[in-house]
Chains A and B, each alone.
Chain A
Amino acid sequence: MIKRGFIVQAGFAIVPIGLSLLITALLIAATGTDPAAVFALVWEGAFRDLRTAAQVVNFWIPLTLAAIGLVVTFTAGLWNIGVEGQIMMGAVFASWAALTLNLPHHLLIPVEIGLAALGGALWAALVGFLKTRLGVHEIFGGVALNALANVLSIYLISGPWQPPEGGSVRATPPFQPDALLPPISPAFTVNLLAVVVVALAIAAVTIALRGTRWGLQLKATGKNPASALLLGVPTTRSVMSAFVVCGALAGVAGAYRVLFTYGSLRPLVSGGIGFLGLLVVLLVSMRPLWVPIVTFAFAAILSGSTRLRVALQLDSSLAGVLQGTLVLAVLLTNGMRQRLAARSKSAARSSAVQREDVVLTGAIHDSRTD
């Protein structure tokens, strides 16, 4: 029995992965390219050597920060689609410090990261304010504030922060060296401090959600806000705090993009990482310890796909297609499993009831009317 249960469990994990790979392979074949070559290129693009592996980690860091923040908002029952804009605002705030402040390196870095957290938190608090005080659903507030964050960053890049050689919408001038996060080594270009911050964030969120009053209040708010309020949970404060925590983590993710990955502020600096974080959280459904594993897989796909355009003339949106079909397949297979479980349970119950019926009819035959 246990063995069979395990096989079924494994099947429900493997089927969606296989299905999404199959669908993606068919789509690649439809464009006239060999799917095997594409998958090999993506794998190589991610894990060929230390340099490409470092690129995977550089996607993994901001993606994990955003996703771990989204675990908090999901726990409170919130669709923080605005995470994308919160990453951008973190990047904008960090860029302001990097471009204007004249501080020594060891002071500037904490100021930049602190400001980035503040920027992300403010942008998230705005979504929270629109929701709790003014009754605008967080999906719409978030979508609008995402677009506005992007408009603001493009305005800054093409206007006040444009490079001295003239206006462009490509990027701000490169930041001063003191403003940048240093790599571990020239061969493995990843920032160590950021990895530590990610680990701390995962630990803090896991502990806070499992073992604190705040975490319990978030869960109550997420499960049933009306009854949570009746039981004395300050639901408005829970919602606001969830937004602020997620926004701050997303802001730090944005800081990593500008202070390490790019070294300057660019349009669409988050590059869809926030939306990807939402997909990750849909997969792990509020289990923070699973986040770094799934984000690693997604970061590898994302990073591995960046060379598709150059090598095979394929659009890198293929990464999004693979990730999207995977999440859809997982959600649908979950539903299938629950449906099968419910059916076998009700079948078991009805056969038990029938057996009981036989006993009953045998024992007290006359008392049964139907």
Chain B
Amino acid sequence: MTPELINTFNSIVASATPLVIASIGETITERAGVVNLSLNGSIILAAMVGFVVALAADSALVGVLCAMAIGALVAVVIAAADIELKQDQVAIGFVLTLLAADLAQFLGQNYTRIPGPQVLITPLPLLSDIPIFGPILFRQSLFVYFSYALIFGVWFWLFYTRPGLAHRAVGERPEAAFARGTNVNRLRYLYTAVGGALVGLAGAAYSLSVKPGWSTPPSMSGDGWIALAIVIFGGWHPFRVVLGAYLFAGLRALASAIQRSPDVNIPAVLLNGVPWVLMIATLLLVSSGSIERLLRVLPRPAQKWMRNILRSDPPAALGTRFEQQ
């Protein structure tokens, strides 16, 4: 593998990391039955807060923590509006996604295009010396290493621990979970906040590492929607979600590489449409309507196998309210 190719893969992993963290965060929230539709705005607001606080406190860590707090706060507003005030999660999430983006632009107006603290790349000793994989995976920022731990941690939590079972039950069958003594709404608050904090962390990963600094319009604008789509593509399973995020970042990098090559003549502006075409394509791939259409052209034995791979069923109680006595 040439050094250029290794560099390319290294930067794909780096640029996918905020998407990984945000979509894993949303997976945690949605697994508990709550939709946090505010992702696009939350990430933008958290990116601004993370950058500005890190600049003011001269500490990236303080910036990261504040970004996580903001992400959790926005998410908790959605959970509270749903649980206490019986308002539609989608409506509140939509209002918040617009409000958070405007708030970021307004409050961050004096901090655009100025240099600030960054989370630098720290190669891991020993691991970064592994041929090929070392330089790709282990010459990264702390955000990236955290995302690795997060992926496996959430997978283990959801499928191999008792509290993880309760977590899933709250999103699948809240009545059954309640009957077994689980405080459904308290867990929904908890996992919405945890998921929101990770969304905030994703924002900080942008403004302190992947796309350092703050600008209007924000450079990560739109990625929150992509992350929401990746959760669906990933069928609410951490591994598949992560696969989706890396695939997405890889295809985006490929598109811009094609653009840069001298013998291709596509107007640069059209390139901006690529992520959105990809987003619809990935959703089409897992949506029930198109799966069936796609399967009909396959031989019969392959159909069942393919259906199992592609099917993506949301948590049964996703977006519904639980009236706890």
Contact = CB atoms under 8 A, between A and B. Distances in A.
A324 interface: yes
Interface in A39-91: 79, 81
A331 B98 contact: no
A151 B273 contact: yes
B57 interface: no
B95 A331 contact: yes
A79 B91 CA distance: 9
Interface stretch (B65-73, B101-109, B164-172, B243-251): B101-109
Interface string A165-196: 00001000000000000000000000000000
Nearest to B108: A315
Contacts of A328: 77, 92, 95-96, 99
Q: For the side of the interface on B, what is the size category?
A: 35 or more
A31 B107 contact: yes
A79 B37 CA distance: 12
Given A158-B269, A339-B86, A144 B276 contact: yes
The SS class assigned to the A binding surface is: helix
Contacts of A155: 267, 269-270
Interface string A91-124: 0000000000000000000000000000000000
Contacts of B275: 147
Contacts of B91: 282, 331
Contact of B92 (A134, A158, A331): A331
Contact of B277 (A148, A279, A318): A148
Nearest to B104: A317
Interface residues of A, number: 47
A26 to B, nearest CB: 11
B144 interface: no
A97 B302 CA distance: 50
Contact of B280 (A79, A141, A275, A320): A141
A136 B94 contact: no
Interface in A317-360: 317-318, 320-321, 324-325, 327-328, 331-332, 334-336, 338-339
A278 B92 CA distance: 12
The SS class assigned to the B binding surface is: helix
Contacts of A154: 269, 272
A278 B98 CA distance: 11
Contacts of B272: 147, 151, 154
B95 A279 contact: yes
A336 B81 CA distance: 9
B269 A315 contact: no
Contacts of A315: 105-106, 109, 216
A339 B287 contact: no
A314 B108 CA distance: 11
Interface centre among B37, B91, B277 (most CB of A within 10 A): B91
B107 A30 contact: yes
A136 B281 CA distance: 10
B297 interface: no
B94 A278 contact: yes
B295 interface: no
Contacts of B81: 331-332, 335
Interface string A156-168: 0011000000000
A152 B277 CA distance: 13
Contacts of A233: none
A27 interface: yes
B95 A324 contact: yes
Contacts of A140: 225, 228-229, 232, 279-280, 283
Contacts of B110: 31
A275 B97 CA distance: 11
A128 B33 CA distance: 26
Contact of A317 (B85, B106, B289): B106
A136 B99 contact: no
A228 interface: no
B288 interface: yes
A151 B94 contact: no
Contact of B105 (A144, A145, A147, A317): A317
A4 interface: no
Contacts of A151: 269-270, 272-273, 276
9 contacts: A27-B106, A154-B269, A315-B109, A317-B102, A320-B106, A321-B103, A328-B96, A331-B95, A335-B87
